[in-house]
Structure formats: C-alpha cells, structure tokens
C-alpha cells in the first residue's frame, strides 16, 4: 500500500508518493529526502533525488515519482543537478498525468532489451507526458529567464514529476553502495504568465559500419502559438560529432531560410545553452535537427538506449507569453536509411551544409 508523505514548507506543500516495497532491481535501503533548503523571497528549492538505490543491472533506466500537491499551482524556475557522469549516464525529468506504475522505483527503460523484470514507462500509457529537463556529462545548473516557469500542479496536466536516471555502469554498486542522483527544483507559487515548454527532436535509424551518417528530423509548428526560444541541449552517445537545430521559414519569394537555434559538440557538458537566435517561432515554421554521427565500429550501430547503441536528440526550451505551451511535445523521424531532410516528401529545400568541422 502506498503511503503519502506530506512535507510542510514555508511557501509550498508537496505530496511525495513512496511505497514501502522497493523494486527488485535495486537493493532495499532507507527512503531518504534531503531537508528543505530555505526559500529566498517567494522561491524555494525542493530536492528530487533517487531514494538511495543500488542498481545491479548495467544500462538500467530507473524511475522514481513524486506527486505534486493538487491544491496548488507551482512554477519550476530552475534545475540544479545533483549528479556526476561517473555515476549517471544521463537524467530526464518527466511531467506526467500519472506515473508509469505505483511502485516507488521501477525499470523505465522503454527501449531496453527484454528482461525477467517488469518494466513500465516513466508516465502512464494514456496520461499526459512531457520532458521538462535533461542532464548529462556533468552539466551545470539551469535557471530560466526572469518571469518564465514550467507550470505543474493544480492548473496543469502535470500532476506528477518522474525522475529517470540511466545507470550505464554499475561496478561502483557491487559493494552495496547506494545513489541519490537527482535534481534540486527551484520553484515559486507566484503566478507566471510566461509558461515554459520543452520540445524534443530526435530520430530512430541505423549508422552503417565505418561510416559518417546524418541523422535528421523536422516538424511543422501547426498550432496557433508564438514560441520564444531561449535554450537548447544536445545529446548523443560517444560517436556524436555535432548536433544542430534550426528554424525553417519561407520568405516572400517562397525560399526557405534556415536560422540556426544552436549547434554543439555533444561530447561537451550536455547542459542547456542559450539559443543563438531568439526570434519568435510561428505557426507554419518548421523546426529541424541534424546529428552528425561517425561510426568507427566494424558493425552497424542502431539508435537505442545502451552504450552499444547511439542516440540523436535536440531539446529546445521555449516560452509562450500567454496561453498554454505546445500540445506537441516530441518530433521524431525514422532516421537513416529511410528519412533525410532531402527526401522529396519533406518539403524542405535550401538545406544548409552542416559538418562537424564547422564547429
């Protein structure tokens, strides 16, 4: 049976969901939350951390949830990671309508190979799901622009937050050591008009042996909303050379103009960086992303969750200055060999030449 733990704080009240039983993929340990840090003004900091887990399966994706107080609307305005790349390969913070399960921790590797253990997605199968924040490679704290926040709780479809940590290697846990990787969430109850959203662009696909491949995706913004981009983040595994994101818009002569939003070597700290162009993104624009991946292996490498696989992701943080954020949360393509920007059915043209050497 679940037990709800209420934590009183000077400016908010958050309900945490914790189950007495600990999932079998991790050793049982005392469930612990760090003490609340004092708020400065109307802003507080909440520690959302793994509950002293001890993963035993390499490339394990582990999730843990908290339930946000449903009587209050909160705005997350900053993310301060509590993790190192020596322990965690990467972390994602999901906003969910319901968690993927009622367990306190669970295997949430959606693309992971079949095991004897039960698995569930970070969010429930028919619930609201979006990625709010991502971290890897010792990235530093992210603070949102003044007056901008991710809305969660009462007046938001995000009723739960789910922390996902990818443990690529588990040697350090063989002696029973535990981990509390996670993120401190800076938040406020002060109503904010500028609501933040994150759009994730990515691909499926394969990279042939001993070949450099371009992994690409693009989606049109069809909702009647004005997006103000402010930060981006890139993610690949070890073979990534460069990741770039663009806003694509046709001019008065019907020629598509590609404006760079961000370009980065993915083997540098995978934090959110300021976009290189803050011009608004409008309905009818397309957002496009390319990863340059160099496969030095004598075998095909596929897109997947483990260190033996690759990934190609571009995260775009934006805000709207009135109304709600995009209903569209994800933009994925089939990737190579099936999808390229240059395919006739994409409608893309005037495509820029983007290579790792241009960094």
Count of other CB atoms within 10 angstroms of residue 33: 17
CB of 4 closer than 8 Å to CB of 67: yes
Regarding beta strands 2-8 and 240-250, do their DSSP bridges make them parallel or antiparallel, or are they unpaired?
A: unpaired
Name the H helices within 143-290: none
d(CA 219, CA 122): 24
Partners of 150 in beta bridges: 76
Query: What does the pLDDT look like over 112-162, one tens digit per residue?
Result: 443 445 689 999 998 999 999 998 888 889 999 999 999 999 999 999 999
Does the pTM exceed 0.95? no
CB of 91 closer than 8 Å to CB of 164: yes
Query: What does the pLDDT look like over 238-254, one tens digit per residue?
Result: 999 999 999 999 999 99
Backbone angles phi, psi at 265, to 5 degrees: -70, 120
Element (DSSP H or E) covering residue 74: strand 73-82
pLDDT for 307 equals: 83
Closest C-alpha to 53, from 186, 163, 133: 163
Clarify whether 164 is annotated catalytic: yes
| CA 75 remoteness from chain centre | 17
Q: How far is CA 28 from CA 21, 129, 346, in A?
A: 8, 28, 50
- Model confidence at 54: pLDDT above 90: yes
Q: How far is CA 37 from CA 11, 56, 68, in A?
A: 11, 32, 18
d(CA 299, CA 304): 15
CATH topology of domain 44-192: Jelly Rolls (2.60.120)
Count of other CB atoms within 10 angstroms of residue 98: 18
**Kindly report the CA angle at 166 between 242 and 199, in degrees rounded to 5?**
55
pLDDT for 354 equals: 60
Clarify whether 169 is annotated catalytic: no
pLDDT for 261 equals: 98
Element (DSSP H or E) covering residue 18: strand 13-19
Residues in contact with 192: Cβ distance below 8 Å, sequence separation at least 6, in sequence order? 75, 77, 147, 148, 149, 151
Kindly name the residue from 91, 214, 235, 289 that is annotated as catalytic. 235
pLDDT for 241 equals: 96
Tallying the residues shown for the chain, one arrives at: 359
Kindly name the residue from 50, 91, 311, 317 that is annotated as catalytic. 311
Kindly name the residue from 50, 91, 130, 164 that is annotated as catalytic. 164
d(CA 119, CA 110): 8
CATH topology of domain 199-333: Jelly Rolls (2.60.120)
- Model confidence at 291: pLDDT above 50: yes
Clarify whether 90 is annotated catalytic: yes
Binding-site residue positions? 89-90, 166, 235, 237, 311
Regarding beta strands 148-153 and 194-203, do their DSSP bridges make them parallel or antiparallel, or are they unpaired?
A: parallel
Binding-site residue positions for Cu(2+)? 89-90, 166, 235, 237, 311
d(CA 130, CA 222): 18
pLDDT for 353 equals: 75
Closest C-alpha to 301, from 287, 292, 291, 311: 311
Count of other CB atoms within 10 angstroms of residue 280: 14
Backbone angles phi, psi at 357, to 5 degrees: -65, -15
Kindly name the residue from 50, 214, 215, 237 that is annotated as catalytic. 237
Clarify whether 235 is annotated catalytic: yes
Helix (H, G, I), strand (E, B), or coil: what is residue 356? helix
Backbone angles phi, psi at 346, to 5 degrees: -80, -25
Which residues of the chain are in CATH 2.60.120.230 domains?
Answer: 199-333
How does the average pLDDT of the chain come out, rounded? 85
Q: Which residue has the higher pLDDT, 7 or 87?
A: 87
Clarify whether 237 is annotated catalytic: yes
Kindly name the residue from 50, 89, 239, 286 that is annotated as catalytic. 89
- Model confidence at 8: pLDDT above 80: no
pLDDT for 355 equals: 53
Which residues of the chain are in CATH 2.60.120.310 domains?
Answer: 44-192
pLDDT for 118 equals: 65
Query: What does the pLDDT look like over 333-351, one tens digit per residue?
Result: 999 999 999 999 999 999 9
């Amino acid at each position: 049976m679940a037990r709800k733990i209420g934590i009183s704080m000077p400016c908010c009240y958050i309900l945490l969901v914790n189950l007495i039983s600990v999932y079998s993929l991790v050793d049982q340990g005392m469930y612990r939350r760090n003490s609340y840090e004092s708020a400065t003004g109307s802003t507080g900091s909440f520690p959302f951390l793994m509950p002293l887990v001890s993963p035993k399966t390499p490339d394990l994706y582990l999730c843990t949830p908290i339930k946000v107080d449903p009587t209050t609307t909160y705005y997350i305005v900053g993310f301060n990671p509590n993790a190192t790349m020596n322990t965690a390969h990467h972390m994602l913070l999901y906003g969910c309508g319901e968690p993927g399960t009622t367990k306190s921790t669970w295997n949430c590797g959606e693309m992971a190979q079949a095991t004897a253990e039960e698995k569930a997605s970070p969010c429930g199968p028919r619930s609201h799901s979006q990625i709010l924040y991502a971290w890897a490679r010792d990235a530093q704290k992210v603070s949102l622009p003044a007056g901008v926040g991710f809305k969660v709780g009462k007046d938001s479809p995000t009723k739960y937050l789910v922390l996902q940590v990818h443990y690529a290697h588990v040697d350090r846990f063989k002696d029973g050591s535990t981990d509390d990787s996670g993120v401190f969430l800076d938040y406020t109850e002060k109503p904010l008009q500028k609501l933040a959203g994150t759009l994730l662009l990515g691909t499926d696909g394969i990279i042939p042996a001993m070949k450099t491949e371009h992994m690409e995706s693009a989606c049109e913004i069809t909702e009647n909303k004005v997006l103000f981009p402010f930060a981006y983040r890139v993610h690949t595994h070890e073979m990534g050379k460069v990741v770039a994101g663009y806003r694509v818009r046709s001019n008065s002569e019907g020629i598509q103009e590609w404006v760079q939003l961000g370009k980065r070597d993915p083997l540098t700290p995978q934090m959110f960086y300021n976009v290189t162009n803050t011009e608004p993104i409008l309905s009818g624009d397309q957002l496009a992303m390319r990863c340059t991946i160099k496969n030095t292996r004598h075998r095909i490498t596929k897109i997947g969750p483990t260190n033996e696989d690759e990934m190609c992701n571009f995260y775009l943080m934006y805000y709207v200055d009135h109304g709600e954020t995009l209903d569209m949360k994800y933009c994925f393509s089939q990737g190579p060999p099936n999808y390229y920007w240059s395919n006739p059915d994409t409608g893309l043209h005037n495509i820029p030449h983007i290579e790792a050497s241009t960094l």
